C-alpha cells in the first residue's frame, strides 16, 4: 500500500477560558488525514488524527518539513513488511529525518498528528477500535474494556463567579463522572481555597478532586498551597512549578505528603527519563501525565511507559493529558490508570463520541473502527471538510 | 515609535554536508524584518535577523502565532518608556503570549528571530554596532573590540576523501584561524581517529582542535572515543551524547579528563539550569554553547549566563553555537569566551562580513550599524528581497 496524499488544516477551538497562565480563546489544533490507495467501503482508506490540545496547530512544520519527507519517501520505506501496512515507527522516523536532537517542542506535536493518524488507519483496515490495534501491537492480550475517566474543567471563565464552579461539577456528576479536576493559581490563594471547598461540597471526598496549577508557582508558593491544601487530602496536586524544574518538584515532594502529578509538558523519552531521575517522583503515588498526542505519538509514548516501568513505576499511575478520543484508546490499549476528559471545553476536540455513557466514573471504549472521530458529530465536521 | 509591518521568508541554505546525524541539504532558516515608522536616511528603520542555523525555518509559528500577536499589541505595550524604543524583552513576552510552559523547541527558534531583530533595529537607531548596544544594555562598560574565533567545519562531505579535511583546515589557517572544529561519529572510530590525526598535522597542538559528535553516542561509545582521544589533548569534545542526557554527560565527565562542550541544543534558561545542576559540568574547564539565535533571543540567553555565574561558572567558557554575525556581536557585547564561525559552510548565513580580517585567531567587530548583515553581500540579498 502507499500514501496518496496527506492533508492538514488548522482548526480554531471554541474556548474562551483561562488557566493560571494561558487564555485559550485563540487556540488552534492541526487536523491531519493520511489518504492511501487501499479501499474501504468504496472509499480510500484514510487515517485521521490531530495534535491533541494545548500547544497550537503545527501547519508550518507539517506542511514544509514533515509531509514532504513522507511523500518523497522511497517505496516500501514506511511499510512494515510483516503486516504490509504503514508502520507508525517508520513514519515517525521519516517525518523526523535530518532533524537535530533535543528541542522537543512544536515538532513533537506536529509529528504526533502524523504518527497517530497511522494508528487510526491501521485500526480501520482491521475494522476494529484503535485500542485493540494498540494492545495487539504492544503484545498486551486485550485492551481494557472499561477505563477510569475524570472530568477536567474548573477553569477561570471570563466574568464567571466562583460559585458557578459547583454547577459545572454538578453537571459532570450528573453525566456519571465521580472525579473532577479544577484549576488553581489563577486567583489569590484564599480565593482558590474557597473554590476548592466549594468543589468539595459537590465532589464529596478529597480523593474525588484534583487541582492543577499549570506550572505557575515558585517553590515557596507551591509549598504554601501544598500546606494549605493538605487537610483536603486531594486526589492529586498537578504541575505546581515549571514542568522542567525537576529540582522544585523534588523539594515539593519532600514537603507535601499527598500525590503530585506532572508530565503533560514533557514531550520526549529523554525528558521523561530526567523526570524519573531527578524530580523525586514517588512510586505508587505520583501521577504521570505525558500526552502521546503531543509527544511524537504512541511510538515514543510507549518508550516513556517502558522507562517508567524500568524504574519501578507502575503504568497504572499514567493518566495522559489530552481529554480526547485518542487518549481514551491509548489508555485502554496500553492498560494505563485512567484518562482525562474535557466534556465541556476545548470543543470540538475535547471529550468522547456522541452518546458516550459514563457510569460511576468508568467509560466503555466505542466500537467504531479507529479512534472513532466519525462518531463525534462536531469533530466529524472538520475532518469531513479536510478530506473534501 | 511603532511597528508598521513584520516580514518573514524561509531561505534555503547552500549546504550539501552532513554531521554524524543530519544531512543539511534541505536546511532552511527564517529571515525576518521588523519595519517601523522611524526614518533613517530616508528609509523606514528596520530590524533584521534570522533564527540562527541548524533547526529549520519557522514560518508557520512566526506567521500564524507570533507576528499577529505583535501586530495586535496595544500601543505602547512593546516600548521601553525610558528609551522610547522597542523593548526586546517586551517583544518576546508578547510573541509568547498564551503559550504554555515547557516544550522549548521550534517556538524558541521562531521567537529568537523576532527578538534579535529588535536588537538590530535599536543598534541602527543609535548608528552603532549591535555589540555596543548589547554591552550598554547589560551594564557592561564596553564591548570587547576583538574576539576569539574558531573555524567550524570538518563535516562529512558527500564523496569527499578524508584527506580533503587537511586542505579545508589549511584554508582556514591561511585566512588567519588558529583553532578548528571537526565532526566525529559519522564514521567508524578508527577512521575518525585517522581524520583527527590528519587534522592535527595541520593544526599543530591538540589545543587548536575541537571535535563534535553531535549527540550521537551512547555512554559506552562516548567513553571509548574519550579514551582513544585522550592522548591528543584536544581543545574540547563536543556533544558526545543526547543533549538532554545529563546523566550520560556526568558519567563521561567522571571518565574523561579533557574539556567537554555542550548546550547548543538547549533552548531555555530552565534547561540550562538542569544542565548546570545534573550534568557534572566542570568549572573553568567545560564549555557552554547555547545559541541565542535559537533560544528566544538575547533576553533569555542573558539569563542563561546569569545562571552560569550564579553557579560559579565563568562566562569566558561560553562559546555560542551559530557561526554567524549575531553570535559575533553577542560574544563581544556580553564578554564571552569566543565565537564559532562557519567560514565555508551554511551560506549565506554562516561567517562574517565581506573582507573580515582574522588575525591569529582574533576578529575585530565590524563598524556597520546593527548586526551588519548589509556588509555581507550574499546575506544582504535575501534581506533585500524580503524588504522588497
Supply the ipTM of this predicted assembly. 0.96
In this complex, which of B56, B105, B247 lies closest to A108 when CB atoms are compared? B105
pLDDT at B276 over 80: yes
Task: Indicate the pLDDT class of residue B196, thresholds 50, 70 and 90.
Answer: very high
Higher pLDDT residue, B365 or B376?
Answer: B376
Length of chain B: 388
pLDDT at B159 over 70: no
Q: Which residues of A touch B24 (CB under 8 A)?
A: 98
Chain A: residue whose CA lies nearest to B265? A102
Chain B: residue whose CA lies nearest to A59? B60
Give residue B372's pLDDT: 97
Chain B: residue whose CA lies nearest to A109? B103
In this complex, which of A55, A98, A109 lies closest to B23 when CB atoms are compared? A98
Give residue A162's pLDDT: 66
Q: What are the two backbone dihedrals, phi and then psi, of residue B24, each rounded to the nearest 5 degrees?
A: -100, 15
Spatial contact of B181 and B238, defined as CB atoms under 8 Å apart: yes
Give residue B265's pLDDT: 98
Give residue B21's pLDDT: 74
Please indicate whether, in this complex, the C-beta atoms of B102 and A265 are within 8 angstroms of each other: yes
Least Cα separation, residue A232 to chain B (angstroms): 27
DSSP 8-state assignment for residue B18? B
pLDDT at B162 over 70: no
Instruction: Quote the CA–CA distance of B19 and A330 in Å, as a whole number.
Output: 36
Give residue A223's pLDDT: 98
Spatial contact of A35 and A172, defined as CB atoms under 8 Å apart: no
List CB contacts of B295: < 8 A, sequence separation 6 or more: B104, B108, B109, B112, B266, B267, B268, B301, B304
Give residue A161's pLDDT: 65
Residues of chain A with pLDDT under 50: none
Whether the bond between A116 and the residue before it is cis, its omega within 30 degrees of 0, is no
Domains detected in chain B: 3-128 (3.30.390.10), 137-374 (3.20.20.120)
Instruction: Decide: pTM greater than 0.95.
Output: yes
Task: Indicate the pLDDT class of residue B158, thresholds 50, 70 and 90.
Answer: low
Chain A touched by B106 (CB under 8 Å): yes
pLDDT at B288 over 70: yes
In this complex, which of B64, B105, B278 lies closest to A105 when CB atoms are compared? B105
DSSP 8-state assignment for residue B99? P
Spatial contact of A361 and A148, defined as CB atoms under 8 Å apart: yes
Spatial contact of B343 and B175, defined as CB atoms under 8 Å apart: yes
Please indicate whether, in this complex, the C-beta atoms of A242 and B215 are within 8 angstroms of each other: no
Chain B touched by A207 (CB under 8 Å): no
Full DSSP string of B31-75? EEEEEEEEEETTEEEEEEEE--SSS---HHIIIIIIHHHHHTSPT
List CB contacts of B236: < 8 A, sequence separation 6 or more: B210, B211, B258, B259, B260, B261, B286, B287
Q: Do β-strands B85-86 and A180-183 pair in parallel, antiparallel, or remain unpaired? A: unpaired
Catalytic residue among A27, A321, A329, A376: A321
Instruction: Specify whether B14 is catalytic.
Output: no
Catalytic residue among B109, B137, B181, B183: B183
pLDDT at B333 over 70: yes
Instruction: Specify whether A170 is catalytic.
Output: no
pLDDT at B25 over 90: no
Least Cα separation, residue A201 to chain B (angstroms): 31
Give residue A6's pLDDT: 98
DSSP 8-state assignment for residue A370? B
Chain A touched by B241 (CB under 8 Å): no
pLDDT digits (tens, 9 = 90+) for B57-93: 999 999 999 999 999 999 899 999 999 999 999 999 9
Amino acid at each position: 500500500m502507499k500514501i496518496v496524499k496527506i492533508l492538514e488544516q488548522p482548526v480554531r477551538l471554541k474556548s474562551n477560558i483561562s488557566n493560571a497562565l494561558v487564555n485559550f480563546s485563540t487556540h488552534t489544533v492541526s487536523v491531519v488525514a493520511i489518504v492511501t490507495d487501499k479501499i474501504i467501503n468504496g472509499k480510500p482508506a484514510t487515517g485521521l488524527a490531530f495534535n491533541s490540545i494545548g500547544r497550537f496547530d503545527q501547519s508550518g512544520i507539517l506542511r514544509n518539513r514533515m509531509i514532504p519527507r513522507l511523500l518523497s519517501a522511497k517505496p516500501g520505506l514506511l511499510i512494515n513488511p510483516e503486516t504490509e501496512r504503514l508502520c507508525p515507527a517508520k513514519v515517525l522516523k521519516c517525518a523526523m529525518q535530518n532533524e537535530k536532537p533535543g528541542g522537543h517542542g512544536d515538532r513533537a506535536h506536529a509529528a504526533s498528528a502524523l504518527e497517530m493518524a497511522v494508528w487510526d488507519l491501521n485500526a480501520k483496515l482491521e475494522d476494529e477500535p484503535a485500542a485493540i490495534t494498540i494492545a495487539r501491537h504492544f503484545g498486551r492480550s486485550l485492551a481494557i474494556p472499561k477505563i477510569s475517566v475524570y472530568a477536567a474543567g474548573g477553569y477561570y471563565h471570563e466574568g464567571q463567579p466562583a460559585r458557578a464552579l459547583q454547577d459545572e461539577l454538578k453537571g459532570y456528576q450528573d453525566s456519571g463522572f465521580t472525579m473532577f479536576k479544577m484549576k488553581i493559581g489563577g486567583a489569590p490563594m484564599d480565593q482558590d481555597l474557597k473554590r476548592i471547598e466549594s468543589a468539595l461540597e459537590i465532589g464529596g471526598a478529597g480523593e474525588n478532586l484534583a487541582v492543577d496549577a499549570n506550572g505557575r508557582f515558585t517553590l515557596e508558593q507551591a509549598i504554601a498551597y501544598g500546606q494549605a491544601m493538605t487537610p483536603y487530602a486531594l486526589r492529586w496536586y498537578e504541575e505546581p512549578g515549571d514542568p522542567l524544574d525537576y529540582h522544585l518538584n523534588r523539594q515539593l515532594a519532600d514537603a507535601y505528603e499527598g500525590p503530585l502529578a506532572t508530565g503533560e509538558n514533557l514531550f520526549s523519552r529523554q525528558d521523561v527519563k530526567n523526570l524519573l531521575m531527578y524530580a523525586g517522583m514517588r512510586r505508587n503515588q505520583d501521577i504521570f501525565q505525558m500526552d502521546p498526542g503531543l509527544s511524537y505519538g504512541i511510538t515514543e509514548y510507549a518508550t516513556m511507559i517502558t522507562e517508567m516501568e524500568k524504574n519501578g513505576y507502575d503504568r497504572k499511575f499514567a493518566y495522559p493529558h489530552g481529554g480526547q478520543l485518542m487518549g481514551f484508546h491509548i489508555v485502554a490499549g496500553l492498560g494505563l490508570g485512567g484518562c482525562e476528559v474535557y466534556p465541556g471545553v476545548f470543543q470540538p476536540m475535547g471529550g468522547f463520541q456522541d452518546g458516550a455513557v459514563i457510569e460511576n466514573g468508568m467509560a466503555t471504549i466505542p466500537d467504531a473502527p479507529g479512534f472513532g472521530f466519525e462518531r463525534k458529530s462536531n469533530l466529524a465536521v472538520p475532518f469531513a471538510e479536510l478530506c473534501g
